[in-house]
Amino acid sequence: MWFFQKSLIFAFNPISMLTQEKQQTKQKSFFETEKPQKPFIFPKIGILIGFFVILGIGFAIYAVLPEPKSQEDQLTDLIARIEGGEELPSGEWKDYCHLMAVLRDSISPKCVCALDGINWDNPPRSPERLPEGWQEYKIPNNGGKRLFFRHKIYPKIKIDFDANDSQGNEKPHWHRKNPNGRSDRDLYIDQDCGIVAKNSKKSHIYVRLKK
């Protein structure tokens, strides 16, 4: 019946039929395009959940890690190991010497060897060849000697340079000050950090001159 009615309408008024169908098609497409789209929120929720998971893992790791030791605690542990007869590796010995200098204002002759940064088996040929970190005392009329200290962190580590020996001969050499020296008998240390007296042979560390 529906098909018969449509056929009659189309037979008597085909233009009207086609126009009506076009309008219905336009209305249908209009309503289909105007349907509101639901926002897609799953990626945002996933990112948020991932963030909180990572944050929770970070807090968990932080909670189980031991608290870093203070410098005073580190020094106490190193002293206990030394007093217990343990020989510290070179790196930890240097740490011990540094902490003793900074926290206790104390530097032993052996610590001078760890902290001055100079190879005394082949000493610098001139003060200009000192490694970085040495500063010069400006002392006028010092008899040709030049005095240096190991920057502000280790002011007790001192050396001096003299281009001549006591007879005035050209023999450039260094002296290493004993930071705990109290008299001429323990004024210097030799190239191996042994305590030596003033004017002793070992107190003079001679520069190797090029031939």
| DSSP secondary structure code for residue 204 in this structure | -
pLDDT tens digits, one per residue of 137-160: 887 777 778 999 998 889 999 999
Pick the more confident residue, 15 or 166: 166
Average pLDDT over the chain, rounded to whole?
A: 80
Q: What value does the mean pLDDT take over residues 40-44?
A: 56
What tokens does 178 get? Answer: 């004993």
Instruction: For residue 114, give the nearest of 130, 129, 135, 99 by alpha carbon.
Output: 99
Pick the more confident residue, 133 or 138: 133
Query: Tokens 């200009």, residue?
Result: 128
Beta-bridge partners for 206? 173
Ordered by start, the domain boundaries in the chain are 68-106, 115-206
pLDDT tens digits, one per residue of 45-62: 767 777 777 877 876 776
pTM, two decimals, is 0.65
Pick the more confident residue, 123 or 138: 123
Tell whether the model's pLDDT for residue 211 goes beyond 70. no
What tokens does 145 get? Answer: 């000697």
pLDDT tens digits, one per residue of 156-189: 999 999 988 767 677 899 999 999 999 999 999 9
The answer to whether 73 and 90 have CB atoms below 8 angstroms apart is: no
Pick the more confident residue, 56 or 121: 121
Q: What are the angstrom distances between the C-alpha of 187 and each of 105, 134, 158, 193, 208?
A: 19, 20, 11, 12, 24
